[in-house]
Structure 1
Amino acid sequence: MDIKWLEDFLSLAQTRNFSRSAQERNVTQSALSRRIRSLEAWVGADLVDRSTYPLILTPAGKLFSNSAVEAMRLLNDTRALLRVENKDENMLSISAGHTLSLNFLPKWLQTVEARFGQLRTRVLPTNVHDSVLSLVEGNCDLLLCYHHSDLPIELDPARFEYINLGGELVLPVSAPKRSGFAAFSLPGSRVAPTSQLGYTAGSFFARVVERIVARVDQPCFLVNSYESDLAELLKTMALSGLGLAWLPESCIRRELTEGKLVAAGGEQWNMTLEIRLFRAIDNRKPALLRLWENLQQH
């Protein structure tokens, strides 16, 4: 059982509306619905009567709601107590997507430490949604994420500020044939659609690929042969010659140089994302303020 399911359920119990709770929880309505279904499966009973509008809690839902409120109160009180007891003003926690955690963050930290001095950091790799939520809920000091004007990270500029750390090219790649050309290439055809190693629906990179395909003024014929949330896993599948995958350049730089992967389409199939570092403006941790000042000067 995921604690976020409890938070989703308590939000729904208050708003009695899936759409409003999804907005409040910063998730899609379908994702919220899946999480409530997962919670009901874990509990073993229906918690929400979906046949009414506004929706109401079932008798089981009302009973569970009381327990959930008390459980969240105890968990939050205990967490607050432990944070005070174990607070380390020199430790910076960084929440970041898996790809950035693996491929960008280590080298970036090296560069920063070369001019700033040694940093004490704790990296929290997770998906984009949960990393954003971690910053909003005060569970990390810094958020490292991708950003694009078509796929913005919605954070209140009155509460959060950011620094642009550079860009990341996302491009379609495939293992090569003996000729050196991509074994799987765009745009494919209606008769022979290209095998795609896709991202799970709703994930950030799935939305990136959807946006790329939508903006190219050319029909594209793809069939998903495999799906995953993780770019590194799709890279492994692409190297095995199982299909085409859109991957961040930092994830495949060596493989492109060595010719193990090759571009599977022209530049129109690429997208450049910003890499942004966010912080909460009211976070006054001394180590964070010193780092932020140094970053702004460079």
Structure 2
Amino acid sequence: MQLKWIEDLLVLERTRSFSRAAELRHITQSALSRRIRSLEDWVGAELVDRNTYPLALTRAGAAFCETAGQAAELLLDARATLRREASLPGNAIGIAAGHTLSLAFLPAWLKRCRQRFGDFHARVVAANVLDAVVALSEGHCDLMLGYNHPRVPVSLDAERFASLAVGADTLVPVSAPTSRGRPRYGVPDGRSAPMPFLAYTPNTTLGRVLDTVLEARDAHRGLVRCYEADMAMLLLKMATEGHGLAWLPLSTAAEALADGSLVHAGDASWHAELGIFAYRSVISSNPTLLEFWRMLESPGSETPTLVTAAAGDRPTLASAA
């Protein structure tokens, strides 16, 4: 028997839907069904009544869920405590963050947090968003940081995970400049030849957010994908070397925009506003995390927001209460 099978069943009990539960568990519906069957084989009883709509647990399933849920919570809590003690001494928080946030946002954010909260140890793992979500779901970290957008939300069960806005960013089109300081590659206008496009790989959060911008303007036809990467820093490098048009978080592009190696390639109608959210398990018993979270929720907490500077100035972080 595997602990994740119990977690699958608990999510299935709440959602009453194989498709929704599979989405929240970040596996396919067929894989979820196989794991539930494996759990039923191990228990020796049918746990899910598949003949009802919405789906319901059998009497055996309901009884098993109550006991198994308590056991899973105790096991996950014990594992988290042991891992925390083994990896970092004293007050410690394990953090999983997207690659872009871990480089462009996290260092300054942790510095501001320490100024308000006091010193604590942080173990940071940079990962793609899906891996970070899985790490939080399976108890491999205490806190997750990720970009969020109304049309591309982070897929976490709101009953199991609390969330809090801790910052904001803006996805903006940028290009290397011409000798006159104009963008070498501009956003599609329907008249010019298709522009070389430095794209995010499919299924990345920034890529999916950008798709909403391009689809709203029917702009895909005006772009030719010449390069793909899953990290904004890689697109930044290609853009500054003049390989094409890219959409970058302002936090990533700030220095290049300030020193003139990149310029804005489109107006605000081509921008996408991004929320930066922190997520934690509602059953976490890490005292440092819980105190840290209370600090983030307190009225005195500030949400850093990137402000677009005038041409030639350095974009800066402002604070909105």
* Bucket of the pairwise TM-score, normalised by the shorter protein: 0.7 to 0.9
Name the counterpart of 1:227.
Answer: 228
Which ranges in structure 2 are unaligned for 5 or more consecutive residues? 9-17, 32-74, 302-321
**Structure 2 Cα separation of the partners of residues 93 and 186 of structure 1:** 40
1:168-247 matches, within 5 Å, as 168-187=169-188, 189=190, 192-216=193-217, 220-247=221-248
Name the counterpart of 1:135.
Answer: 136
Q: Which amino acid aligns with 2:146?
A: C
- 8 Å Cα contact 2:90-2:121 kept in structure 1: no
Q: Which amino acid aligns with 2:294?
A: E
Name the counterpart of 1:90.
Answer: 91
Structure 1 residues 125, 222: closer, same or farther in 2, change over 3 A? same
Q: Which amino acid aligns with 2:186?
A: S
**Structure 1 Cα separation of the partners of residues 168 and 268 of structure 2:** 16
TM (norm. structure 2) is 0.67
**1:99 and 2:63 equivalent?**
no
**1:23 and 2:23 equivalent?**
yes
Structure 1 residues 22, 285: closer, same or farther in 2, change over 3 A? closer
- Cα RMSD over matched residues? 2.9
1:1-298 matches, within 5 Å, as 23=23, 25-26=25-26, 80=79, 83=83, 86=86, 90-187=91-188, 189=190, 192-216=193-217, 220-297=221-298, 298=301
Of 216-225 and 230-239, deviating more is 216-225
Question: SS at 2:283's partner residue?
Answer: coil
Q: How far apart are 1:84 and its partner, in Å?
A: 8.1
TM (norm. structure 1) is 0.72
Structure 1 residues 99, 292: closer, same or farther in 2, change over 3 A? same
Identical columns (%): 41
| Residues matched between the structures, number | 238
Q: How far apart are 1:86 and its partner, in Å?
A: 2.2
- 8 Å Cα contact 1:188-1:222 kept in structure 2: no
Which ranges in structure 1 are unaligned for 5 or more consecutive residues? 1-6, 12-17, 33-75
**Structure 2 Cα separation of the partners of residues 19 and 163 of structure 1:** 26
Residue deviations 1:202-253, cap 9 Å, x none?
A: 2212111111111236675100111111110110000000001110000011
**Structure 1 Cα separation of the partners of residues 209 and 165 of structure 2:** 19
Structure 1 residues 274, 85: closer, same or farther in 2, change over 3 A? closer
